[in-house]
Amino acid sequence: MTVMMVSVFALLLVCAFPVGYALVIAAGSAVLFLGGVPAVIAVVKLFQPTQSFPLLAIPFFILSGSLMMSGTLGKQLVAFAAALVGRFHGGLGQVSVVGSTVFGGVSGSAVAEASALGSMLIPWQKREGYPAAFAAAVTSSSSVIAGLIPPSIPLIIYATVSNASIASLFIAAVLPGLLLAAGMMVVCYVSGRMRSFPRLEGGGGGLRALGASLVTAAPALLMPVFIIALLRLGIATPTEVSVIAVAYAIVVSTLLYRDLTLARLRDALVTTAVTTGVVMLVITASSLVGHVLITERVPAIVANWAMTVLQEPWLIILAMNLIMLFVGMFLDLPAAILLLGPTFVAIGQAIGIDPIQLGIMVAINLSIGLFTPPIGTTLFIGAAIARVPILAVVRELWPFYLVALTVLGLISYVPALTLY
């Protein structure tokens, strides 16, 4: 049954079917033609994930991010980043990285971040004389930091398949996210210095501009701190925090910036509905696929094979990373997490990897796939905004790949970086 399901799924992907539909059709075909899973159970498995209370956090975090980033606050965050790092070599590239880190604490979505930041920063960098391909490379790579900085949508999805604590995942992801940001800022600085990229005139406005922009951007800067504090103190669950985040976004936009209109609210609701629908389709489809795999004991079989053949934990971790990097090149991040999650959690338990550490490994691995050809979502967004060929962007990405892989290696083999 599993072989047929995988074959049908691969064929549908080659035919350019959306991932969610391909998963439903592949799993449904296996159930229909080969039996083994009663049809009624198959239907129940499709809808069962929609009844998950933790998954309610996804639409609320998406809505809070849409409300905050579609108005004045988005421009204030960019101004803050420019004032902070604009004076340095490669300053506008570093603005993208700092902006991605801060935006990640609001949106939780790399794709949304690449679209929002890229539309503002890529044209700006091009006007200042930066190579278009480099501008696209910075945006497409740094936007994946949103997959780590709370509230991270990928980590919420991972928690549903691993039973790991969302709060613990959020807290553990902060340091790896900051390591990614620091490494990418170094790349921008070195590139700017070696290639003589123009520096931002006026250095971003000096200390006075930095202080002013810090005050105006403070509501967004405080959002991830606010989320972590509520979770760390046990005041609210992640789902409750997501609702509070929406209320916070409405209050900030209405009373502080006074730019929340009915049109903006409607657009934010539509964006939230569409994005949530796409994610939930993949989640429901992956639930049926996962049930088929578990019925045939695929996770247990793969875990036993890994323990028997590879034996050494470090070698098993390396193999897991290579598999995730490969799968991430072809599958959307939510689908890849849901498909690989059960198997890798079983392997992790067999070799003693903490599920929190494994979750951060999964998030980094599959986030790298977002800016890796042939189907890198943020890569395509960055290239489209910059209006440059994909291959030109990929040539600029190699130092960013090096940074991401270095952080991945540290997280994989130094548990203390996530278990603190």
Residues 6+ apart with CB under 8 A from 324: 336, 340, 344, 361, 362, 365, 366
pLDDT at 358: 94
State how far the Cα of 247 lies from the Cα of 6, in Å rounded to an integer.
Answer: 43
Residue 128 DSSP symbol: T
CA-based nearest residue to 245, from 262, 263, 260, 228? 228
Residues 6+ apart with CB under 8 A from 378: 110, 111, 114, 139, 140, 141, 143, 144, 370, 371
pLDDT at 28: 78
pLDDT at 401: 96
Q: pLDDT tens for the chain, 420 residues: list them.
A: 677 777 887 788 778 777 778 878 887 777 777 665 566 777 777 777 777 777 788 888 888 878 877 777 777 777 787 778 877 888 888 988 988 888 776 766 787 778 778 888 888 888 888 999 999 999 999 988 988 888 888 898 899 888 888 889 999 999 999 999 999 999 999 999 999 888 776 555 566 767 777 887 787 777 777 787 887 777 888 888 888 888 888 888 888 878 888 888 898 898 888 888 877 887 777 777 777 777 777 767 777 777 777 778 899 899 899 988 888 887 778 888 888 888 888 888 888 899 999 999 999 999 998 898 877 888 888 898 898 998 999 999 999 999 999 999 999 999 999 876
Element (H, E) at 22: helix 19-34
State how far the Cα of 374 lies from the Cα of 54, in Å rounded to an integer.
Answer: 32
